[in-house]
Every structure is written in C-alpha cells, then in structure tokens.
Amino acid sequence: MLPSAFDYVVPDSLEEAVRALTEGPDARALAGGQSLLPLLKLRLARPARLVDLRRLDGLRYVRKVDGGVAVGGLTPHAEVAGSTLLVGGGRALAEAAAAIGDVQVRNRGTFGGSLAHADPSADLPAAVLALEATLLAHGPDGEREIRAGDFFLGPFATALRPGELLVGARMEIPEGSRGAYVKLRHKASGFALVGVAAVLEMDGSTCRRARLTVTGTGGRPLRLEETEEALAGLSLEDGRAVREACSGAGEVLEDVHDDLHGSAEYRRAMTSVMATRAVLRAVG
C-alpha cells in the first residue's frame, strides 16, 4: 500500500496552487485526500506531482451571500453538515454532507474535493444539482462559473479544465423552501447505492416547484424531471399521493448500474422509494 514516487508541493496561495498544477504534466490537487490517497496507495493513480491545498485557509467557509449561501471548496463535510445557514432547501446539502462516510472522512474530506472527484455514487453531487448551485472554478485564466447541471459529465469526469480548482459554490435557498437527502447506503463502502436529494418550493402544504436528483444509479447525478412535474401542484401532506407521484422515478432512468452491489431493477425501484422518502422527509 505504498504509492509510486511523486513531487510534493504545498502552495501558500491560490495563484501558486494553479501554477503548480499547470507547470508540468500529471499534477493532481490534494484536498482532504479521502479518495485520492487510497487511489495512490493502490497505485491506481500515479500523479507526477501532488499539490497540497491545505494552506489555502480562505477556501474554508460556509457563509451567507446575497440570496443564498456560499460554501468554500476546502470546507470539510462536517462543517457543511453542521452549518446553521443551511436551512430550508439548504437541508438537502447539509444532509448529503452528513451522509458521507464516517466521522473521520467527514472531518478530513472536503466539499470541493468530493465534487471535483465526481464519484458517480457520491452524495454531494445530488445535493448541488438539486439546489441548482453555481460552482466556482479558479484556473490559469482566473475565475469562472459553472452551473451544477453542466458540471458533472460522467464517472469521475467534470467540466473543470486542466489546472482549474473547484474553489466553492453558491446556491440560492428560496424563501420557505424545504430540503432533504436520503440514501440507501452500500453496506461496505457507505456510498449511495441510490441517493435522492429533494428541494421543494412550497405554498403552504402545496408544492409549487420540486427539484429532485438521484445519485448512484448511473455515471453522474441526474434530475428526476418527470417526478418533479408530478409533484408540482401536489399537496405533500398526502403521503399516498407523494408515493404515487414518485412511483415512476426510477423507471425512466437509462443506463442504470447493474453490478455486484445492486441490480438495475433494484436500483430503479429504490430510486422511487428514496424519492418518496426524501420528499416526505423534506416536508416532515
């Protein structure tokens, strides 16, 4: 369990970090290391250089911004999970962060690290997608914004360009909205066999607009658009109606994973179950 040799640099600023990432071939950014270190030890990743971001303290925050909340890329999951700013629809993100791994992982692993790694079974991608977050990338050409819906391209693939770091995200939390994240946990890895995030804009007990996303079923997190439409205008106090509205959530998914950990049929069925539970939990 020893990695192959690599250069190791610890930049003091974001600019230095970006430079260190672009100077030579095969540089990788190291944030909390909760995914990267196991890959290094198994030699599944063999970067020529590791750029350790641990001194970039300015990227560790959850703060209120105009119309919503901003989260820094180096914020540990535990701080996202415990943030008092993530209320209403923002609960989807807090609960997704709380559902990651175990205590040690949540204290070391980072918000930006998890999103940039884009594991297809990770929890956070579902939440930022449901919140329609704006992700902030910083690279050689400065800072740019990427919509969450455009960010996740496939398994471990994102819209980040070479040398770009995911430095944070900004998301609106509509007034009176509700949110939740629930998952069926894979018993070995703790990752989502199926995870669903729900962000619901409400008029009293009636759902005005629903945003539902699923992770774990395919190569990237997806919006459950048909279910969102079925929930719009529905009274969410009626558990049976919610169940009915969510019952088709999994059926419409394409290219669902079918493997040792769960058949496609089971994952589809569980998508509907988790969608129902996410909605009921959000309004419960």
Residues that bind another protein (CB under 8 A): 1-2, 4-5, 42, 102, 184, 186-189, 260-263, 266, 269-270, 273
Our CB check for another protein shows the closer of 29 and 275 to be 275
Task: Tell the smallest beta-carbon distance from residue 141 to another protein (Å).
Answer: 37
DSSP labels, 137-202: EEETTEEEEEEHHHHEEETTEESPPTT-EEEEEEEE--TT-EEEEEEEE-TTT--EEEEEEEEEEE
80-83's contacts with Cβ under 8 Å and 24+ in sequence apart are: 80/111, 81/106
Least distance to another protein, CB of residue 111, Å = 22
Residue 151 or 181: the one with the smaller Cβ distance to another protein is: 181
Residue 4 vs 205, nearer CB to another protein: 4
CB of 37 to another protein, least distance (A): 13
Nearer to another protein, 163 or 262 (CB): 262
Name which of 35 and 134 has its Cβ closer to another protein. Answer: 35
Burial class of 156 by CB neighbour count within 10 A (0 to 12, 13 to 18, 19+): middle
CA atoms within 13 Å, Cβ hemisphere of 122: 30
Nearest approach in angstroms of CB 189 to another protein is 4
Between CA 102 and CA 59 the distance in angstroms is 23
In angstroms, what is the minimal distance from the CB of 165 to another protein?
26
- The Cα 8–Cα 59 span in angstroms is 20
